[in-house]
A and B are shown apart, each in its own frame.
Chain A
């Protein structure tokens, strides 16, 4: 019961802050709202007893959104939202598509037969051990591929961002 209440509370917080990202005109508030939404998602992970992923989400998103806020202030024409510029287009279509996607996914979630629900959970130590063994055995190739992809993305992002020399 307590777990359900916590998931509802942090889930609603994630949805509310997710909406606030696109409702505010201030870019700094947008970035902070996304940070809070992602932190609430991390809290949902923790309440669902995925301790490692919850802490990872909080740490990653904290730094990621802080960097995003800096970029937003750098690149936006009106980062404070003082001039009330409207930076949206095809609004009705976007609302319709977003609502349809949300409703369709919710319908699948509520109507599908998910089978029996597991009540017992491995304790956090067993979870970390199990994930470590998964990473080093069955999913090692995927893990290594992710590492190489990160390296490629770092080089690509740097190469794209460096200006042409004359």
Chain B
């Protein structure tokens, strides 16, 4: 039980750090790093749940694979947007992207 609680707490702390990064950073690439940390925290929790609660149900591992796919997609599309933004304005600072507001 202790290992499960330690793993879940580590996931919670990592999620908090990622959320801080996603909210506080002004640069698109740094914001993406915060989102990566949050998704990493989610995978820690999922693996802990699978290992300590349902080791015979592989849908837990499947869920982690899907989260990893989301991480890769977020990076790919994020860098696509960053490249486009850099070409248009010469910067990926999100404070200079107020015109994207609806």
A interface with B by C-beta (< 8 Å): 3-4, 7-8, 11-12, 14-15, 18-19, 21-22, 27, 30-31, 34, 37-38, 41, 44-45, 48-50, 52-53, 56-57, 60, 64, 67-68, 71-72, 74-77, 87-91, 93-95, 97-106, 108-110, 114-115, 117-118, 120-122, 127, 130-131, 133-135, 138-139, 142-143, 146, 149-150, 153-154, 156-161, 163
Contacts and interface: CB of A to CB of B under 8 A. Distances in A.
A110 B24 CA distance: 28
A138 B59 CA distance: 9
Given A115-B53, A122-B55, A44 B26 contact: no
Interface string B53-71: 1111011011011101101
Contact of B10 (A11, A21, A159): A11
Instruction: Summarize B's interface: helix, strand, loop or mixed.
Output: helix
Given A21-B33, A71-B29, 5 more contacts: A19-B17, A45-B47, A50-B50, A89-B26, A138-B59
Contacts, number: 246
A12 to B, nearest CB: 8
Contacts of B10: 7, 11-12, 14-15, 44
A7 B3 contact: yes
29 contacts: A8-B6, A11-B10, A12-B10, A22-B24, A22-B25, A30-B30, A34-B37, A38-B40, A41-B44, A45-B44, A48-B51, A49-B51, A50-B64, A53-B65, A64-B71, A89-B24, A90-B23, A98-B16, A98-B18, A98-B21, A109-B8, A110-B8, A118-B51, A127-B58, A131-B58, A134-B62, A146-B66, A153-B77, A160-B80
Contacts of A19: 17
Contacts of A52: 61
A41 B17 CA distance: 14
Instruction: Summarize A's interface: helix, strand, loop or mixed.
Output: helix
A84 B1 CA distance: 45
